[in-house]
Amino acid sequence: KAGVTQTPRYLIKTRGQQVTLSCSPISGHRSVSWYQQTPGQGLQFLFEYFSETQRNKGNFPGRFSGRQFSNSRSEMNVSTLELGDSALYLCASSLSSGIGTGPSGANVLTFGAGSRLTVL
């Protein structure tokens, strides 16, 4: 069973540019979450998509956006890149949305290897 696939693995951009990162979840998983990992801030939640709908959003500026396609694949976009956007961006998939009360909150997230973005 293939894992969560993120592309590209590494990329270098300059300030002001935009970037699109892609995530293919495990087959059958309908929920995709995105996290930003930096040495200073740790793991911060960006957003979660389930059935092509954004279910939850973290405290990031509007420059960060995402979407999910009908095959559950997801993309996130960062526009007008800043130096502080340099980070490892992690995508995680799960069977169902963890949002909401009840057992779905205990769903395990399966993470991809991440996309490491460097902004110069």
Partner 1 sequence: AQSVAQPEDQVNVAEGNPLTVKCTYSVSGNPYLFWYVQYPNRGLQFLLKYITGDNLVKGSYGFEAEFNKSQTSFHLKKPSALVSDSALYFCAVRDSYTGRRALTFGSGTRLQVQP
**Are the beta carbons of 11 and 115 closer than 8 angstroms?**
yes
Least Å from the CB of residue 33 to partner 1:
7
Residues that bind partner 1 (CB under 8 A): 4, 6, 33, 35, 42-43, 45, 48, 55-56, 58, 90, 92, 98-103, 105-106, 108-114
Residue 45 or 75: the one with the smaller Cβ distance to partner 1 is: 45
Count CA within 13 A, CB hemisphere, residue 28: 5
Count CA within 13 A, CB hemisphere, residue 115: 26
Residue 83 or 99: the one with the smaller Cβ distance to partner 1 is: 99
Residue 15 or 57: the one with the smaller Cβ distance to partner 1 is: 57
